[in-house]
Amino acid sequence: MLNALSKAFFLTLAANRPLKRLASRYGLRKPTSFARRFIAGETTADAVAAARAVQAAGLFISLDLLGESVVTLDEADAATRGCVALIRDVVDAGIERNVSLKLTQLGLDVDHATAVDNLRKVLAVADRHDFFIRIDMEGSPYTQETLDIWETLWGLGHRRLGVVLQSALRRSEADAQRVIERGGRIRLVKGAYKEPKTIAYQTKADVDEAFVRIMRLLLKDADYPAIATHDPAMIAATKARAAELGLAPDRFEFQMLYGVRRDLQAALAAEGYRVRVYIPFGREWFPYFMRRLAERPANVAFVVKSLLRER
């Protein structure tokens, strides 16, 4: 019960626009700020520095310029230009060319056609430089629209474009089959959004069972799936499934969040598995950070300890 209340509390904070604006103004002023454990910083230079450190440790990267739920066309245009600039900065920096983004960041809440057009602008530059772009999955109101947009652009020839599915949603097993049939690449996560019981599993056990079912399907049939989890039980189940199928370590990858279970990231890499670290950065960091706190009580404990140390 306490964990459920904690999750609901932090998810409510994540959606609070005044707090988001205040956090953005305050910023990540000190490198020792507790939020810096999970967020690389505010600038592209911060992200590039973090990416280089991660790659030096033998891990792979995906950069995410944070920003979501924009409410005007001007904001959507600015976010699109920011994503394009990020792609060019990554090319100049010589780091791995892998970026994640959200459709609400590109204006999906404002106008569907504009969001699609903005994504095509990003892909036009990304494809020229051999980037892989992953469309992050947001809350359930966006699930169908996100998959439809992915499928439309996939059909237009953007084949270095992936999508994310959440095992917490009851529909995701069928969605996984749909994407597999079209040849797309899937990142499987548990899900960080509060969803109604009519469409989502409510207990960890049920979410985990769905995760394992979908993971088993992906390892068998999907093109280079990404299994995104910090849960040792889910990782063990993935290893067992890969061994059962005789799947080489370069046929799939684990993905983890920047600053979370760095020991586990290193251990998996040492065992020969591919591990990709999702590196978020930017001024719009507050909603992302609140969802990370909602996911795991251990994250909250880390924040409290950090605050006490700083005081």
Question: Is residue 174 assigned to a domain?
Answer: yes
Rounded to the nearest integer, the mean pLDDT of the chain is 88
Question: Is residue 180 assigned to a domain?
Answer: yes
**pLDDT given at position 2:** 43
How many domains in the chain? 1
Residue 244 carries which side chain, given as an amino acid letter? E
Question: Is residue 144 assigned to a domain?
Answer: yes
Active-site entry in 46, 64, 109, 136: 136
**What is the 8-class DSSP label of residue 160?**
S
Cα angle, residue 277 at apex, residues 276 and 279 outer, rounded to 5°: 140
Question: Is residue 171 assigned to a domain?
Answer: yes
Known active-site residue 160? no
Closest CA to 127 of 102, 164, 154, 152: 154
Instruction: Count CA atoms closer than 13 A to 107's CA, side-chain side.
Output: 23
> What whole-number distance in Å separates Cα of residue 281 and Cα of residue 294?
19
Q: Which residues, other chains included, contact 139 with Cβ-Cβ below 8 Å and sequence gap of 6+?
A: 193, 195
**pLDDT given at position 65:** 95
Q: What is the pTM of this model?
A: 0.86
Domain that holds residue 207: 40-284
Known active-site residue 187? yes
Burial class (CB in 10 A: 0-12, 13-18, 19+), 281: buried
pLDDT in tens, 165-196: 999 999 999 999 999 999 999 999 999 788 99
Question: Is residue 274 assigned to a domain?
Answer: yes
Active-site entry in 185, 187, 274, 276: 187
Question: Is residue 138 assigned to a domain?
Answer: yes
Structure tokens at 191: 């899900």
Q: How far is CA 132 from CA 15, 107, 218, 250, in A?
A: 29, 21, 19, 17
pLDDT in tens, 4-47: 555 565 555 545 556 555 555 555 555 546 677 789 998 999 99
Residue 100 carries which side chain, given as an amino acid letter? S
Question: Is residue 23 assigned to a domain?
Answer: no
Question: Is residue 44 assigned to a domain?
Answer: yes
Look up the CATH number of the domain holding residue 73: 3.20.20.220
